[in-house]
Every structure is written in structure tokens, then in C-alpha cells.
Structure 1
């Protein structure tokens, strides 16, 4: 049985990870903004921004194109806006897309294999006096076997504080996004997987119902991609088409990531055999921020769409018709049997009337 100290340690670790993840979602968004990112929690306030140098001024994030084995040097500027000195940890981490569609970064104890492993700050922590700023240089050194394509992560500042009321440590993080495009063949590709369609009809067999189309968008290439989606449902040979409107675009997916999509389609006729078609147009963003639409990807799935009330009515009508036919057949057989019996009786009586009389 776990001791009280063990349970308390587990609770602290869990809450620390939760708080870090929540604040990191804020830092990830801030790192994409046009101005400096700000963290303010109680008496804690600091900002981070990119340094002005040969890469540019007032950049919203760090973005580089580097060949395997290459090296890049840059810097982050941290400013203390609070009334007390700050001692912040500095480290890098790999990025990933959350279930809410936002960029997040691995916790400090997470295992980074790309940006978080290739980015190294010149110090593990920085102390900043109130009203002062500090520049934190860092270098990105790519291994010779770095995988070509897009890699996303960030460089972070972190402050761990004790919450006396709860008796736990809370980790607050603020950082800037780093996007690396490693030289080599770029293979952008999105796939549509696990496509399904389910029909939901109405009690009125002559009215249109709705369908639900579900599928997974999978980034099977080596470039970060967003996309435009279109979904339609039709009957046999493309008859009675219905299109879905207002489909939200999936977030930008990093290589290897997936995103589940559910699309309702209204005005679908119960055409017995439905075909649901999903068209996905990948969109690739280059280092300059320009977006290019790639060749669309398409997939189709089928499902039954029977007007069950009409089917029930037809079944009842068929049953009644079969019953009537069987009843008429039985009545005909009875009439034939009665007629045959009458004929036999008449023949027998006639034969008896012709028998010779005896004296």
C-alpha cells in the first residue's frame, strides 16, 4: 500500500505536469504572435522575444532551413517585467499537436529526438533583475543523418514555484517556436484513412435525412501540412448528391501526426446505396510564409441507406398479398373438393338407378 508521502509525491508530479502543459499551450500561441510573449501569474511577469540580428528583427518565431550536419546560431531575449529577480530555467523541446489542434511542447523530462535534442542554449538557466533584459544565445547543430523535412519544437524559459496553499510545485513555462526544414527531398503528403459513412433517416420515407462521415487525416509525408476539406454524399451513379458545408480545416499536422474528423451531411436521400466522397487538398507553407495548394487526395466509402418505414410498409403489403393469395387458393381447393364430391354423388346415384330389378 502506498504511503502518504508517496501519494503526495505522485499528486505533486501530476499537478506539475498538468500546470506545465496548460501554460505551454499559452506559450506556444504566444510564440506565434507578432509581439513578445508574456507570462503573468500573480507576482510573476516576464517576456520572451527573438533577438534582432542578421536573421531579421521583430520575428514572431525562429525559422531555419538547414542541411544535415549544419549549424545555426541565434538568440532569445528575456525581459523581467516584475518587481523581483527571476531565475529561469532554459531548455528546448520537441513540438506536437494537441487534441485541441494547438502546438504544444514536451515537458522537460520528455524524450525529444529532433529540435529538442538539436537545440542547445549556452546556459541552463538565466537570472534577470527587475526591469532588466538578458540575451540567451543558442545553437542548433544537426546530425549528419538528420531526417529531411520539417521539424518543429521550441526554446523555453521555465519558472518553478511552490504553492504553499496546495503544498505543490507549479511549473510555469514561456517559449518561442522553432521550425526547422532539414535539407533533402521534401515529400509532402496527406492520406485519408478509416473513412466511414452512417445514414440517419426519418420516419417519413419520402423525406431526406442526414449522414455522418468520419475519417482520419494522416500526415504520411515529411512536411508540416494543413488542408482544405470537402465532403459529399450521393446515391448510385452519383444521383441525388448532398454536400457538407462549413467544414473546419484541420490544424497544421507535423509529419506522422493524425487528426480525426467527423462531418455531418444534411439533405441526404434514402437512395438505398450511398457513396461518401472526401476530398482533401493539402496546403504547404514555405520558409517565406507563402502557401501552396498541392494535388487533392480523394477517398470514397459506401453504406446502406434504406427508407425503413417504406420497407416496413412494403413488407406488410407483401405479407397481406401473400395471405390473400393463400386464402384464395385454399378457398378454390375447398370449392373444387365440394364440386368433385357432388359429381361423385351424382354418378353414384345414376349408377344405382340403372341397376336391373329382381322379381
Structure 2
């Protein structure tokens, strides 16, 4: 056992740090790049339960650096070491891989997968292709970085990892699982650095509250792209307001969601602005300002002029339509129209019933027969009889006197005699 291995074993062989499990199918590799060290489990089905970690190191063994952080001029060479520790019960042969640094959509640092060729600093490394690490041992692996002469100034992130591929019966026959754990490498080349970001795909969507007496929300989404050559964060401020400044609300996010953005990468983030009333057009303004990301290198970081940290402002307009209020108004109008139509129909039915009753009464009166006329009593003109001679006056004829009784009887419906009844004459 070498002196370096013995010293690492006596110190526990497990420097402090977070633990990671990397499991993936063929062509889908998982990388856990940790600040100090990580542990990858190949899976419960793997023989010997392979567990290992990778960390920064000095020639004597693991050290307390979180990541590799270098500042190097074009054409310079950097020599350093990485420690690979086998925490399992069987010896393992690890492959040593380097590649360009990237960020996942969730904002975690990673490197390109093994099937992708390095396009930047991931191809500047010289490191042995494999390393054999006995069970419970730690091996220090040296590496060299050669910076090209014609390299552009700025940040060139990369990563160095140890990988192991094991068979996985759970994934099916012939399928392997590659586990890899590594350390991040920050490499900055001095020169004319440009801390610049672009703001694209800014959208704002209004969501009303179902409570008609409460304001709604504006959901704002936007994409921040590092189009400079320096790793930066992004200070963000989002402001929304309705017409005449109604509901003016500002959300200061700091660097939330865009804590670190390496050159050439993008990040999409969202924020909700509450307290916006649906009163028509809503103007949303997004302000993003690049902020430098500090480095841990003992050589010092490249100074960034604050004048270069210019903010980017983009404004969009969306319509906040009061759908809930319009629905309530529509319901109220329908209720009013319904009540009015109901009253109108009731009035029309009543008028129709009255007209029908009048028509039926008139028809009944027209069809009723006329009453029979009462019989008229015969009128007999009085007859004047000649008075006895010598008197010179006319005496009424007793026989011509009409008894009024028959007429009265006839008028009352009694029997009428055949002829006038003569009063008896005197002897």
C-alpha cells in the first residue's frame, strides 16, 4: 500500500460533503458534481454495492477545497490532483472523464454526457484514462490543464469525474448503469470580460380571482441568457400595474432562479405578481441586471467594472378582463329581463282572459230571445142615445157602457168575455 493511500485511509478516506446517487440507463448518464465530495451508489442490484467519492486533493490526499477554481493566462498550464475514494468492499476500476460544464434546467451544475465531445475547456485536460482503487482505499490522480493560446477571455467551466459502469438486471439483459461523481472546475482567463445578459420570451398572463371583490394575479415568465463571456447572476425586478397605475405592484426577486449563469446558457424563470385588478390593459415591466459571481481562487478574481453591469428592461402588455364581474352583470341582466318578461306575460294572459269573458258575455246577450208584447184591450167608442122627445138632451145608452173589469182582467191575465156586458135597464 502506498504512503498516500495509507494516509488517506487513516484519515477515513471520506472527506466531508454531500452524497449523491447516480443511476441512469444506457445513453442517459447522471452526474453528481459536488462542492467537496460525493458518493454514488450503483444500485441495490449491483455486486458489492459500489460506493465511491471524488474530491479535490493535494499530492498527499484529499483537501478542504470545495471546487477547483483557477485563473490562467492563454498558453498557461495548470497542474492539480483529484482524489478518488472507494468506499465499497470490492476493488473497482474507474474511468476518468472530463467535459464542458453546463447547467441543468433546474439550475444544477453538470457536464456534458460521455457521448458528447468537449467544445471548450473540457477538452483542455490531460488525465490518465483509468484508475484502480482497492476496497476502502483512496487514490490521488494528477491532471494537467493546458490553456490554448487563442482562447477568448472570460469563464470556461468544466468538470472532472470518475465513472463506473455496472450491469443492472432490473433494467433488463444487456443494459448497464453508469454512475459518475466528480468535481467542478472553474477556469477564468483574464482579459476583456463582458458581463452581459439578454432577456427574451417575456410573457404575462392574467388570472382573475373568483371573488369579485378581490384582485387577481399576473404570472410573468421570461428567459435570461448569458450572452457575455463571464459567469453572472441576475438581479430581477418585476412590476405590474393597470391603467392610471391602478394596483401598481413591484416584486424584487434578487437573484432567485438565476443565481448563476455560465456563458452561453439560458434559464427560464417565473414569478407571480398579486393584487392586480381587472380593469383593462396591464403593463408588466421586467428589469434584469447582471451581477458578478465571486470565485474561491487564491489567485483572485478578475475585476468587473460596475459600469458594465447594465440592466435590461422589457415591457409587455396583457389584458385583464373582469370575467367574473361580467358574468355577474350578465346574470343580473338575465334576472331583470326574466322578471320583466314574466310580468309582461302575466299581463297579456289577464288581458286575454278579460277579452274572452267580454266576448262570451256579448255572444250570450245576442243569442237570448226578445220578451212577448202584452195584449191590448179593445177600445169601444161610447154611443150616445137619443134623449126622449121634448127633453132636448142626449142620454147615455146603458147598453153602450163598457164594463172596465174585463179590460183589467185581461191585463192581469184573466178570462175575457165574448162581448160587452150590458148594464140592466130600468123598468
Instruction: Flag whether TM exceeds 0.5 (same fold).
Output: yes
What residue in structure 2 maps to residue 306 of structure 1? 321
What residue in structure 2 maps to residue 193 of structure 1? 200
Q: What are the within-5 Å matches in structure 2 for residues 123-138 of structure 1?
A: 123-138=128-143
* Equivalent residues of 1:39, 1:174 under 8 A apart: yes
1:115 and 2:121 matched: yes
- Distance, in Å, in 2 between the alignment partners of 1:115 and 1:79 is 25
CA 1:269–1:160 in 2, change beyond 3 Å: closer, same or farther?
same
1:171 and 2:178 matched: yes
What residue in structure 1 maps to residue 73 of structure 2? 67
1:44 and 2:50 matched: yes
* Equivalent residues of 2:164, 2:179 under 8 A apart: yes
Q: Extract unaligned runs of 5+ from structure 2.
A: 1-23, 337-427
> SS at the partner of 1:60?
coil
* Equivalent residues of 1:119, 1:139 under 8 A apart: yes
What residue in structure 1 maps to residue 285 of structure 2? 277
| Number of residue pairs aligned between Structure 1 and Structure 2 | 293
**Structure showing greater Rg:** 2
Pairing partner for 2:144 from 116, 135, 139 = 139
CA 1:169–1:306 in 2, change beyond 3 Å: closer, same or farther?
closer
Q: Deviations over 1:174-204 (max 9, x none)?
A: 1111111122211011222122222233566
- Distance, in Å, in 1 between the alignment partners of 2:51 and 2:82 is 17
> SS at the partner of 1:37?
coil
What residue in structure 2 maps to residue 215 of structure 1? 222
Q: Extract unaligned runs of 5+ from structure 1.
A: 1-13, 321-359
> SS at the partner of 2:123?
helix
Q: Deviations over 1:102-144 (max 9, x none)?
A: 11111222121112111121x1001112232221111111111
What residue in structure 1 maps to residue 258 of structure 2? 250
> SS at the partner of 2:25?
helix
Select the structure that is richer in strand.
1
Greater mean deviation of Cα atoms: 209-218 or 233-242: 233-242
What residue in structure 2 maps to residue 331 of structure 1? none
- Distance, in Å, in 2 between the alignment partners of 1:303 and 1:225 is 30
Q: What are the within-5 Å matches in structure 2 for residues 1-359 of structure 1?
A: 15-18=25-28, 20-21=29-30, 24=31, 27-28=32-33, 30=34, 32-33=35-36, 36-41=37-42, 42=44, 43-52=49-58, 57-121=63-127, 123-165=128-170, 166-167=172-173, 168-202=175-209, 207-244=214-251, 248-288=256-296, 294-308=309-323
* Equivalent residues of 1:226, 1:249 under 8 A apart: no
What residue in structure 2 maps to residue 338 of structure 1? none
- Distance, in Å, in 1 between the alignment partners of 2:117 and 2:77 is 22
> SS at the partner of 1:116?
helix
* Equivalent residues of 1:52, 1:58 under 8 A apart: no
Q: Deviations over 1:48-105 (max 9, x none)?
A: 2211269x94111111011222211111111222221111111201121112211111
* Equivalent residues of 1:228, 1:249 under 8 A apart: no
Deviation at 1:255, TM superposition (A): 0.9
> SS at the partner of 1:109?
coil
TM-score by length of 2: 0.62
CA RMSD of aligned residues (A): 2.9
- Distance, in Å, in 1 between the alignment partners of 2:117 and 2:133 is 28
* Equivalent residues of 2:234, 2:289 under 8 A apart: yes
